[in-house]
Amino acid sequence: MIELYIKEKRLEKNLTQKQLSELSGVSESYIGDLERNEKEPTISILCKIAKALDVKTEELYKYEE
């Protein structure tokens, strides 16, 4: 199971979901789904979000079995 930290990182940067959407090119609704753990992102999406947040991709998630 993947635990995501997108919301935490977004809030640390004082960004709204809309702002993160604009910076990353990922739809606002999809970002909301990810923050609620309703969807699991592809590596490509994680990379876009990480770049927009100026963090390493691996800072956005934790994997647990």
Domain that holds residue 57: 2-63
Query: Distance (Å, rounded) from C-alpha 5 to C-alpha 35?
Result: 8
Query: Distance (Å, rounded) from C-alpha 24 to C-alpha 43?
Result: 13
pLDDT score for 53: 98
SS3 14: coil
Q: In this structure, what CATH number is given to the domain that contains residue 48?
A: 1.10.260.40
In degrees, to the nearest 5, what angle opens at C-alpha 10 toward C-alphas 59 and 40?
60
Q: Quick: pLDDT tens for 9-56.
A: 999 999 999 999 999 999 999 999 999 999 989 999 999 999 999 999
Number of domains observed in the structure of the chain: 1
